[in-house]
Structure formats: structure tokens, C-alpha cells
Structure 1
Amino acid sequence: MTHTDIQLELRGDIAIVRLARAGKRNALSDALILALRDTFQNLPDTVRAAVIDGEGPHFCAGLDLSELKERDAGQGLHHSRMWHAALDHVQQGPVPVIAALHGAVVGGGLELASACHIRVADTTTFYALPEGSRGIFVGGGGSVRIPKLIGVARMTDMMLTGRVYNAEDGERAGFAQYLVPEGTAFDRAIELAQRIATNAPLTNYALMHALPRIAEQPADHGFFTEALISGIAQSAPEAKERVRDFLEGRAGKVTKG
């Protein structure tokens, strides 16, 4: 499937979703955001993991400011909620999503990256939230998702001062879980997606949907939710088969990485 702003490629059970506005540094227009929503809403049932990549030298340079219109408060509210709904389909969709980061991961691009489950950055990657200097505020879920990666204090500093994180400092701060050489983020993201696709689907679903909720619950609620999800996951036929394979020596043991 091809959209003006999005390219979808299927490699077996891996979906590659590529932002295709290289001439605009993959800046997020409303059309691109809606294309992301539609793409993740309509992934084929055969897909087990997805990778988001950006065409050209940048992952995503943020909101397309040429579309920033004079909106009243109500229109601005509904516009932000449209972005929330679209990126929820990335974070809370059917499969884990890996972001392959390179070049600019700025503003709305960082909001998109933070909606993914794993982020792989190469050494060209840099992160910024310039909304503060432009007289606006994040509106695509960044105030919820980004502090969970780097903390409120770091995000506040970025927006107040315009601070830019390079790839190395960004990995240490928590923007990405992996840092790889220039030009290799996509290949590493595909490798991780292929590994994730071999997991039991119910376990992947629990990690995407239950774990974030458990982390925000009071401890006694979290323990109870964990017990419920654990019981459900281990009751799946595939889980029982995998445990049998391990007990009977047909599955590999954990070794040092």
C-alpha cells in the first residue's frame, strides 16, 4: 500500500512504515498524521511487528509549521485530540513498533518516536523540543509520553532553553534504548522486529497494553493486574508449548549477550 505521505512495505510478518516527505524533512502535516492513523488501523492480520522509518537524512523534523493556522481555543483542542487519537494507534495498536531514528527527531517527530515501543538511534540523531521558543506547546501527546522517557525536569529544560541532545547524550538520557553507527538504525530495527515477531503474540500484547498501565497503578492494584495478565498469558496454548520445549531441552537457555 502506498499513500502520498506514507509508504507501507511488508517483509513477511514485519510492516515497514516509512514517512515519505523527505523534501520537508518528514515534517508532520495533518495528512501524514491521518495516514499514520489509517496505516496502523489497517495493518494486515499477518503482521507481528512494525518499524517506522523516515525517508532521507532525517527521521522527522516536527510539525509542518506551514500548516499552523489561526485557530480558536476549541479548534486547537480538537486538532490536538486528532493527533492523540492517531498516535494512540501506534502505541496501542496490535503490534510492537520500533522507531529507526536518524537525523532530526524534533518536536512532533519526538512525540511520534515516544509513541513507539523501542527506539533505535544512529549517531546522526539529535533531539529537540523547539515549541517553547515558538510560543506554542506540545500537542501530540509529548507532555505525557516524553517525561516517561527522560523525566519532567529534562523536558522542561529542553522547552525553556531550546537545548538540543546529540545521539550519545540522548541515549544516556533515555530517548533511545539502542545507539548504533551512522546509517544502521533501520537494519537494527528490522533485526529487533524480526526477533520480537517470534514472541508469543499474547505476551507482546501484554507488554504493550498491560505493562504501561501496571506501572502507573498503585502497588496493590498493579500486583493484582499482573496476576491476572500472568494467568491469561500462561494459559495460551502457544505458551504451554514453549514451556514444554524449554523443559524438554528443545529451547535455548539464556546466555551472556
Structure 2
Amino acid sequence: MALRRCAGIHRRLRLGFSDSIDFSSASGRISTAGSRSPCAARRWPWGIGARGLFVDAADQVSLSALSGSEEGIMVLELNRAEAKNAIGVDMLGKFQSALDRLQDDDAARVVILRSVVPGVFCAGADLKERKKMSVFEAQKFVTSLRSTFSSLEVLSLPTIAAVEGVALGGGLELALSCDLRICGAEATFGLPETGLAIIPGAGGTQRLPRLIGRSRAKELIFTGRRIGADEAKSYGLVEYLTAAGDAYRKALELAKIISNQGPLAIKMAKVAIDRGSEVDAASGMEIEEACYGQVLKSKDRLEGLAAFAEKRSPVYRGD
């Protein structure tokens, strides 16, 4: 999915693989047109069962679908213990493939991103691998890293990062690309790149100040200082702070609540908030109106009204 910045008189906002909205500030008209993802026809390198577990060959990235009362919740796990989940070329490719798979999964409702390596969420990019790269190769990798994190950010599903342990450099940038962040009491965050004579290159200089403010972001980036869970919570870097080891449990609790809401409504709310916050208020209102128009004609909206009248729980299907 590609969501383009809404600027200018005529703008197209793509909502997913099947719908897009055209905005025209001159006429106020909205039209939808079909669009197909270029990745929809890919053959996945993983063994994929019906709503089962999807794992890459090296087990660095896994994607699983929960069931029962947790149906619709997808768990994306990082597992490269020997490198503290440092992201290399191969791991990055597997992660992007997982995002493509998520975007194509109609049954998915919400995604939890976590590490299964004790004490580490993600230590950032693999610097040992980076050291062997030429300048061209390093630039190409950082561009790919930035692109993949942007793919995570604009995923049509809500995403929750459950952070335990260290989230440094690209690890923090990965968490910043999610919609919500939850951390355990022993989590540590930081962007230490300036100490290596570089800058955060996977969105850190853009997402962090938008989240916690420019001055605080500058202080953290200029100094490379690490902050603990309490400070991260006070800065607004994370939405919830839990006891150590409980971040995933809280993420699961939140994901269950989200998965019970109208799927199309959640998708449109994310589009309206994310795209609307990038433009002026008047243009943002146009985006909200267009997104509301999408839910207004949905079957789920009628189901919600019927369930309310009949005093029962709604059964939403995302259409």
C-alpha cells in the first residue's frame, strides 16, 4: 500500500490493495478506483498453511496468526539472538516479505511486533555487516531499511510494538514506525548514530520529533543518550509502561480490543489520522470526509446498528 502526501489541488490517497480515494479541493468530489498491489502475485518463500505459522528459512523473522478469542491478531517476531536482532540484508528482506504477506491477508486485524530474544527488542542495523559494505552498498541498504520501515508505517492494519530490553538506532526507528508502543520497565531506547559520525537514516530524524517534539528529539540525537522506560513514558515515546516482561501481555490485551472493532473503520481511522496530520486542517477535514464516506456505505456499519438495536455483540467482516 502506498499513501501519498496530500498536497496540491488534486490528490489521490490509496487505502489498500482494492480501493483508493481521489480528493479534489475544488469540487469536493470523491471517486474510488480499483488498484492492485504489485506484490500481490509474489510467491512467498515460506511454508504457508491455512492461518498457520509463517517462518523464514533462517528463523530470523516469523509471522503467526492467533486463533480462538484472539483471532485476527497477527504476531510478527524477531529472532536473531546471535546478533541481538541487528538487522542485516537477509533479515530485512524477510521482514519486508512478512509485511507484504500481512497486507494481503484479509483475515488479519491487528499486528503485534515483538522480539523473542531475552533482553533485546532490536539493537539496530548489523554494523558488522555494514563494515564490509562499500559506500554504494551502505547507501542502498539504508534506503531499503527506510523503505521497509515506511511500509510498516503505512500498513493498513494497526501495529503495536511490544518492547522489552534494548531498542537502539534502527531498533528504535522500527518501533517508531508502529502505531502504538508498549514497553517493559527494563526497556532502553536511544539513537546513538551521531557517535558513529552518521545520523539516524531510517526515519528517526522525522518520526521522533513528530512524536516527542523537536527539542527533545534533538537532545537525544545530538547526544546519543539512552533513556529508560520511565523517561520514555514521560516523553510520550510509549503509550503504556508495564512491569518487566509484561509488554507483550499488554499488547495482546490492547490488540484484542482493537480486533473487535469494525475492521474498515479502523483502517479508515488510521488513514484519516496519519494523512490528516500531514496537511493543513481544511485538507485534513477533506480526508476525514472521504474516509467517513467509505465506512458509511459499508455492510459493517449496518451490522453495528443492527447489533445495537438487538442488544448483541456485532459480527464485523470488514466489508
TM-score (norm 1): 0.91
Aligned to 2:8: none
CA apart distance, 1:78: 3.0
Q: Are 2:251 and 1:189 aligned?
A: yes
Aligned to 1:47: 108
Aligned to 2:74: 15
Aligned to 2:18: none
Q: Over aligned residue pairs, what C-alpha RMSD do you find?
A: 1.8
Distance in 1 between the 2:64 and 2:247 partners? 17
Distance in 1 between the 2:214 and 2:142 partners? 20
Aligned to 1:2: 55
Distance in 2 between the 1:243 and 1:142 partners? 42
Aligned to 1:231: 293
CA apart distance, 1:20: 0.4
CA apart distance, 1:234: 2.5
Q: Are 2:208 and 1:153 aligned?
A: no
Aligned to 2:147: 85
Distance in 2 between the 1:28 and 1:189 partners? 23
Could you give the per-residue CA deviations for residues 167-216 of structure 1, whole angstroms, max 9, x where no partner exists?
A: 01101101110111111101111121121111211111113323111011
Contact 1:91-1:208 within 8 A present in 2 as well: no
Please give the residue correspondences for 1:57-136 in structure 2 after superposition, counting only pairs within 5 Å: 57-69=119-131, 70-72=133-135, 75-136=137-198
Q: Are 2:234 and 1:175 aligned?
A: no
Corresponding residue SS for 2:122: coil
What is the letter of the counterpart of residue 7 of structure 1? S
Aligned to 1:255: none
CA apart distance, 1:137: 1.1
Greater CA drift, 243-252 or 149-158: 243-252
Higher RCO (C-alpha under 8 Å, 6+ residues apart): 1
Contact 1:41-1:93 within 8 A present in 2 as well: no
- The structure with more radius of gyration: 2
Distance in 2 between the 1:139 and 1:234 partners? 40
Contact 1:22-1:54 within 8 A present in 2 as well: no
Identity of aligned residues (%): 29
Corresponding residue SS for 1:17: strand
CA apart distance, 1:29: 1.4
The counterpart of 1:37, out of the listed 96, 103, 106, is 96
CA apart distance, 1:76: 4.3
Contact 2:193-2:199 within 8 A present in 1 as well: yes
Aligned to 2:15: none
Greater CA drift, 128-137 or 21-30: 21-30
Distance in 2 between the 1:86 and 1:167 partners? 26
Corresponding residue SS for 2:120: coil
Query: Unaligned 5+ residue runs, structure 2?
Result: 1-53, 315-319
Corresponding residue SS for 1:59: strand
Distance in 2 between the 1:195 and 1:205 partners? 15
Corresponding residue SS for 1:68: helix
Distance in 2 between the 1:222 and 1:77 partners? 34
Greater CA drift, 237-246 or 143-152: 237-246
Distance in 1 between the 2:108 and 2:291 partners? 23
Contact 2:184-2:229 within 8 A present in 1 as well: yes
What is the letter of the counterpart of residue 179 of structure 2? H
Distance in 2 between the 1:144 and 1:206 partners? 23
- 1 or 2, which has the higher helix percentage? 1
Distance in 2 between the 1:60 and 1:45 partners? 28
Between the two proteins, the alignment pairs up a number of residues equal to: 251
